[in-house]
Amino acid sequence: MSESPLLVSDHGAVRRITVNRPDKLNALNAATLDALLVAFDAAADDASVRAVILTGAGPKAFVAGADIAEMNQLTPVQGRDFSLRGQRMMRRVEKMPKPVIAMVNGFALGGGLELAMCCHLRIAADTAKVGQPEINLGLIPGFGGTQRLLRLAGRAATLELCLVGAPIDANRARELGIVNRVVPAAELEAETMKLAEQLAGAAPLALRGTLDCINVGGECGIEEGLEYEAAQFGLMFATQDMREGTSAFLERRKPVFGGQ
């Protein structure tokens, strides 16, 4: 059996998933896409996991892109299938019932930026660079880049990043709304874990309801989104976590959420 392209470790209620192909700058080939899908399915099903950190191995790259050597040999039908494979995996991450943080430790280009964008939050080292350089290969983004970048950064920035193909630094990415936070590279792991632990300590059902509402609201009209939000809000009143959270507030103590 071939070695897994991922490293998976648990730190309390936080699961860390690391793309482990540093010699290829963690490029996404078909096997890595499949392994990520399995890993996120497992994290979703594991009740002990309340938040997930996704990152890349080595000091240079989060994920530098899709595996160009593999793509070079694909036929048009295989190319479409490869695109759908990546989109399916990234949609799985986007629809996770638990928060996923991309810890962008280096280059996040092409498929790497697409992978980061499907996560719910992104923290980047101040040395990181992001971009959609597929135009330089005679390609277009294929794992959802045109769509998620448009929603995060707007039309003008998306057109420039995809048509020009030049990377931008982490601070510019933050200005455009592509990443949430930029921290010194030496502090990246500590700051990401701090945020993940904060999320892991929050009410799991409320986290899931919030993620669901934002996912639904991003894909429908406001009336439908508001109706869905009201339904999810009402459901929270059936949970022990809601009783615990409100009681703790009234009693001036820290709540302990059990996910029920």
CATH number at residue 239: 1.10.12
Residues 139, 176 within the same domain: yes
**Alpha-carbon gap, residue 182 to 128, rounded angstroms:** 9
pTM of the predicted model, to two decimals?
0.95
Average pLDDT (158-164) is 97
- CATH number assigned to the domain comprising residue 157: 3.90.226.10
- Answer yes or no: is pLDDT of 259 > 90: no
Is 191 in the active site? no
Where a domain ends, among 169, 185, 200? 200
Average pLDDT (166-188) is 98
Residues 99, 212 within the same domain: no
Residues 71, 38 within the same domain: yes
Average pLDDT (179-189) is 98
pLDDT tens track for 4-17: 899 999 999 999 99
Residues 195, 216 within the same domain: no
Q: Which token pair is 86?
A: 């990546």
Where a domain ends, among 182, 200, 218? 200
Residues 223, 100 within the same domain: no
Residues 212, 196 within the same domain: no
Is 134 in the active site? yes
- Answer yes or no: is pLDDT of 24 > 70: yes
| Catalytic option among 3, 94, 114, 227 | 114
pLDDT tens track for 97-156: 999 999 999 999 999 999 999 999 999 999 999 999 999 999 999 999 999 999 999 999
Mean of pLDDT over the chain: 95
Percent residues over pLDDT 70 in the chain: 99
Please report, for residues 28, 36, 140, the alpha-carbon distance to residue 89 in angstroms, rounded to integers and kept in the order given: 11, 7, 18
- In a domain, residue 256? The reply is no
Residues 94, 214 within the same domain: no
| Catalytic option among 3, 134, 187, 244 | 134
Where a domain ends, among 159, 180, 200? 200
Residues 192, 244 within the same domain: no
Inter-residue contact 40 to 1 (CB < 8 Å): no
Neighbouring C-beta atoms of residue 137, cutoff 10 Å: 14
Domain that includes residue 228, residue range: 204-250
Give residue 2's pLDDT: 60
Residues 25, 146 within the same domain: yes
Q: Which token pair is 57?
A: 């191995």
- In a domain, residue 1? The reply is no
Residues 64, 190 within the same domain: yes
- In a domain, residue 258? The reply is no
Give residue 42's pLDDT: 98
**Alpha-carbon gap, residue 181 to 93, rounded angstroms:** 20
Give residue 118's pLDDT: 97
To which residue do tokens 């455009």 refer?
176
Residues 210, 174 within the same domain: no
- Answer yes or no: is pLDDT of 260 > 90: no
- In a domain, residue 230? The reply is yes
Number of domains composing the chain: 2
- Answer yes or no: is pLDDT of 1 > 50: no
Say which amino acid occupies 1: M
Residues 87, 168 within the same domain: yes
